[in-house]
A and B are shown apart, each in its own frame.
Chain A
Amino acid sequence: MSSAPHLRSGWRRSADWALRLTAILTACTAAWIAWTKPTAVNGWLFMDLGTSEATAEWVEKIAAVLLVISAASLIRSTSFLACALITLWMLSLAGARTLQGGEEFSELALASNALRYSAPPALWLLHLKRDRLATLLMRLALASTFAAHGYEALQQHPQFVDLVIPAARQYLGLQLTESEVRGILILIGVVDLAVAVGILLRRSRWILAYMAGWGFITLLSRPLSWGWERWPEAAIRCAHAGVPLALLFYWRACTHLQNKD
């Protein structure tokens, strides 16, 4: 796999920092959630495997501490262990959601959460200068997350309806009916699927810009629609905007280099 040791620019550093901040914020939010509320891993251990509640909570507490240490270490340097721990926990959460069920489309959790657990390894690969592998991983994760959310939108995920109606009423002054929102969801689903395919086929900065913008809007819609006490649900999705932004910066760095050449 080729690397790009010569690719030194402000844009590349921006890409690195976008991924780094994404991984740090993801880890800190995951730690907060694990420390304060039962996670899917807790539910799986306690309800499905029959471990004691105390054991399940200890697993979460240990994970929370390790996540905070990992996040702190990423501020100073890119450590394999830190990236691996964050990835492992985010993968565990997605896996536990799939195994435990009890949520709409929980069977798609590994696909829809791909960005959350792919940002740390992408950062590590960039650090190793395995740029092609890093960008491939980011593109695959973007495609997976947008395709899964696009499918859920086409299937009229009830949570999506409940994100659009209050936000439209509160911030745009629009009284949308449920059937109108369902129509909008079809459009959103089609666009999500189109950009998911597009990011695999083309190195398009427009697609990335759309993904970053849409990712930011959708993560912000949680606290906007459901109240600011739901801020962790927005923060845990920071990779939805952070990863496309990182990739956008990286491709800008490539363009910058080509222009210089």
Chain B
Amino acid sequence: MNPKNTRLVALLASCCLFLITGSTIASSGQPGPSHCRVVWGEDPAHVAKISWSTQAAGSKHEVLLATSPQAGDLSGYSMRVTSHRDGEFTRDSRDKDSTSPAWYHHAEVRDLAPSTTYWFVIVSDQVPSREFHFMTGPVDNRPFKIIYGGDSRSGHPARQEMNRFMASIALEDPDVLAFAHGGDYIMSGALWSHWKAWLDHHELSVAASGRVLPIIPVRGNHDTGPLYDEVFDRPGEAGKNYYTTQLGSQVALITLNSEISTTGDQALWLEEQLAELRPANRWLLAQYHRPLFPAVKSPGAAKSTWVPLFEHFDVDLVLESDGHVIKRTVPIRDGKHDPSGVTYIGEGGLGVPQRTPDTKRWYLKEPGMAASAHHVSILEFSDEGLQILTVGPPTSEGRFEPKEFTEVIAPQADWSYLVGEDPSPQWSARSFDSSAWPKGSAGFGYGDDDDSTLLDDMRGEYSRVYLRKSIDADSLEGIEELALMIRYDDAFIAYANGKEFSRVGVKSGAGALAKDIQSHEARDRFDYIPIPDWRAGLEGGELVLAIEGHNASASSSDFTLDLFLIADPSNTGKSEGAAGRIVHDDHRLEPRTP
């Protein structure tokens, strides 16, 4: 081939490659799968569902697995499972203007080996995710732990903090196998925007090592509509959502649905399950959403049906949610304290504002307990006993405050900013050119004497401020966790390389289309907002942070948007664990005498 022909062939090949690559990216919207989650059902020793989202329907979705880490080398994975169910997340009329369409994908992986760590990569239309891993359930009687928590429908900064806390548990404690969520993931189950935010935040529960804790989901009273089944792939069959998870040879966890009829078919099924499972298991547990021995509210309608069954079949522990408190009842039988009775714990602390429990209720008095704090319960099963350790992150006023960290963007650093007009919709993407924007030192605002860049023309004229700053990828090498530290008045949306990772005080929409801005006064301290999966978009060589600040009203008397970026935060020092923990309750159940 002469040089002229060679150049022609190279040119044609380049064009083809460009077209193929371009069409792939165009068809997938934002390239790459997101929202990775593993869902456990009846047989977690051998079967797991791996689920994820994409921003376009795509045509080929699969999971590649191996029993050793492959560092993302796709040729090294020995198992390949194609998604068995794909579809567009349901968006109702309230969602359509403020959200983009997104698609769910579920791959059921069967014939897994028990107690084995599987490393996996999700590949959607040839775009791979990072490498994750999870451990399958045991089939023998070895000791293990699961996390239980519920109610993450509001309090988004605290929800993110709790997810990060669970990630730290997953990182530090290999005996923790799974995470049972007691329901009320989101405020309105029919809204995709709410589920999307939950899924975004759920990414924070992935440990820095890539370890994912499989979810054993419960449907809560706010999780109405089809999206619950779309997110978790119909756990326990669509419309029912009740099922039993066998964990090892001696632990059975029955998941019930308190949001459908509790006395009809479900009660018959429960009675059959309990009769079958009780003789075969040392530890028998049930979980559902609405509490039957509540610390705040009235008992759920299932009380008269389920409680006699729990007591008749000597259920050991019942996991409840919904009340937004910590509680552990005394063991209960026939409506009174009885050492042979059933213990109920709960009631939801994965981010929701915590209520004050009614400690005068007889079943919460000593040796029971009740308190008010964000928390999860770590349940440790062994022959000797069932240890219930209820813990929360180290907090001050219920919020994570990093004491040690590396500054990536310093306080009062210069940011590019735009005021008085709205940029094009792609303004948060890395490719957007903001070189013409003026630069100013953080924070930005007026009216409260705490601003470095004074926006004294803002009041009465405009209510939105846009900030951008890029960070060279090389400077992020070796960093595991990135977090935004922010003070704001009234609200903001934050993006990393065009992907929204935090939204506070803006109910829906963005930019000029943002709706329902809630008032908020800037505090003296900075809020901690972890950035999930920030490495995903670093291929272009830089990380672009983009923040849009909103005032609830253009006539507001003040505005604040002050921020900096930190890496690898800790509160109590690495020697005590990545995040440390506060113990709210430490209780042991003894095995029942046969």
Of B11-19, B142-150, B294-302, the stretch lying at the interface with chain A is B294-302
Question: Which B residues are CB-close (under 8 A) to A227?
Answer: 299, 303-304
- Min Cβ gap B181→A in Å is 16
Question: Which B residues are CB-close (under 8 A) to A48?
Answer: 154, 187
Q: Choose one: B222, B224, B353; the contact of A46 (CB below 8 Å).
A: B353
Give the residue name and chain of the A residue nearest to B190 (CB).
Answer: A101
A177 x B296 contact (CB < 8 A) = no
B261 x A158 contact (CB < 8 A) = yes
Q: Which of A28-55 contact B (CB under 8 A)?
A: 37-38, 46-48, 50, 53
Total residues of chain B contacting the partner, CB 8 A:
29
- Min Cβ gap B546→A in Å is 26
- Min Cβ gap B42→A in Å is 22
- Min Cβ gap B471→A in Å is 33
B518 x A178 contact (CB < 8 A) = no
Total residues of chain A contacting the partner, CB 8 A:
25
- Min Cβ gap A166→B in Å is 6
A102 x B518 contact (CB < 8 A) = no
Give the residue name and chain of the B residue nearest to A170 (CB).
Answer: B304
Given A38-B296, A38-B297, A101-B187, CB of A177 within 8 Å of CB of B264: yes
Given A226-B301, A226-B303, CB of A101 within 8 Å of CB of B264: no
Given A101-B188, A162-B301, A229-B299, CB of A181 within 8 Å of CB of B355: no
The reply to whether the CB of A186 lies closer than 8 angstroms to some CB of chain B is no
The reply to whether the CB of B265 lies closer than 8 angstroms to some CB of chain A is yes
A102 x B221 contact (CB < 8 A) = yes
The reply to whether the CB of B131 lies closer than 8 angstroms to some CB of chain A is no
- Min Cβ gap A167→B in Å is 10
Question: Which B residues are CB-close (under 8 A) to A37?
Answer: 296-298
Contact code string B333-356 (vs A, CB < 8 Å = 1, else 0): 000000000000000000011011
Q: Which of B194-230 contact A (CB under 8 A)?
A: 221-222, 224
The reply to whether the CB of B244 lies closer than 8 angstroms to some CB of chain A is no
Q: Choose one: B153, B261, B304; the contact of A161 (CB below 8 Å).
A: B261
The reply to whether the CB of B259 lies closer than 8 angstroms to some CB of chain A is yes
Complex-state Cα separation, A178 to B187, whole angstroms: 30
Question: Which A residues are CB-close (under 8 A) to B262?
Answer: 158, 162
A161 x B263 contact (CB < 8 A) = yes
- Min Cβ gap A40→B in Å is 11
The reply to whether the CB of A103 lies closer than 8 angstroms to some CB of chain B is yes
Given A50-B518, A101-B187, CB of A162 within 8 Å of CB of B355: no
The reply to whether the CB of B260 lies closer than 8 angstroms to some CB of chain A is yes
Complex-state Cα separation, A46 to B260, whole angstroms: 26
The reply to whether the CB of B305 lies closer than 8 angstroms to some CB of chain A is yes
A102 x B296 contact (CB < 8 A) = no
Q: Which of B333-392 contact A (CB under 8 A)?
A: 352-353, 355-356
- Min Cβ gap B239→A in Å is 11
Number of A-B contacts (CB under 8 A): 67
The reply to whether the CB of A9 lies closer than 8 angstroms to some CB of chain B is no
Contact code string A96-117 (vs B, CB < 8 Å = 1, else 0): 0000011110000000000000
- Min Cβ gap B446→A in Å is 24
B263 x A166 contact (CB < 8 A) = yes
Give the residue name and chain of the A residue nearest to B300 (CB).
Answer: A226
Q: Choose one: B153, B260, B304; the contact of A225 (CB below 8 Å).
A: B304
Q: Choose one: A47, A181, A229; the contact of B353 (CB below 8 Å).
A: A47
- Min Cβ gap A225→B in Å is 7
Question: Which A residues are CB-close (under 8 A) to B518?
Answer: 50
Contact code string B469-499 (vs A, CB < 8 Å = 1, else 0): 0000000000000000000000000000000
Complex-state Cα separation, A141 to B125, whole angstroms: 57
Complex-state Cα separation, A177 to B260, whole angstroms: 15
Question: Which A residues are CB-close (under 8 A) to B221?
Answer: 102-103
Given A37-B298, A47-B353, A53-B356, CB of A162 within 8 Å of CB of B263: yes
- Min Cβ gap A177→B in Å is 7
Question: Which B residues are CB-close (under 8 A) to A207?
Answer: none
The reply to whether the CB of A91 lies closer than 8 angstroms to some CB of chain B is no
- Min Cβ gap B218→A in Å is 14
B222 x A230 contact (CB < 8 A) = no
Question: Which A residues are CB-close (under 8 A) to B301?
Answer: 159, 162, 226
- Min Cβ gap B299→A in Å is 7
Give the residue name and chain of the B residue nearest to A57 (CB).
Answer: B356
A161 x B264 contact (CB < 8 A) = yes
Question: Which B residues are CB-close (under 8 A) to A102?
Answer: 184, 221-222
Give the residue name and chain of the A residue nearest to B324 (CB).
Answer: A47
Q: Which of A145-173 contact B (CB under 8 A)?
A: 158-159, 161-162, 165-166
Give the residue name and chain of the A residue nearest to B191 (CB).
Answer: A101
Question: Which A residues are CB-close (under 8 A) to B355?
Answer: 38, 46, 53
- Min Cβ gap B320→A in Å is 16
A158 x B259 contact (CB < 8 A) = yes
Given A102-B221, A104-B224, CB of A53 within 8 Å of CB of B260: no
Complex-state Cα separation, A46 to B259, whole angstroms: 23
- Min Cβ gap A59→B in Å is 15
Question: Which B residues are CB-close (under 8 A) to A229?
Answer: 298-299
Question: Which B residues are CB-close (under 8 A) to A47?
Answer: 153-154, 352-353
Give the residue name and chain of the B residue nearest to A54 (CB).
Answer: B356
Task: Beyond A50-B518, A158-B261, list 6 extra A-B contacts (CB 8 Å).
Answer: A46-B355, A47-B154, A162-B301, A166-B263, A229-B298, A230-B299
26 A–B contacts from the bound complex (CB under 8 Å): A37-B298, A38-B296, A46-B355, A48-B154, A50-B353, A50-B518, A53-B355, A53-B356, A101-B222, A102-B184, A158-B261, A161-B261, A161-B263, A162-B261, A162-B262, A162-B263, A162-B302, A165-B264, A166-B263, A166-B304, A177-B264, A178-B261, A178-B265, A226-B304, A230-B298, A230-B299
Interface residues of B (CB under 8 A from A): 153-154, 184, 187-188, 221-222, 224, 259-265, 296-299, 301-305, 352-353, 355-356, 518
Interface residues of A (CB under 8 A from B): 37-38, 46-48, 50, 53, 101-104, 158-159, 161-162, 165-166, 177-178, 181, 225-227, 229-230
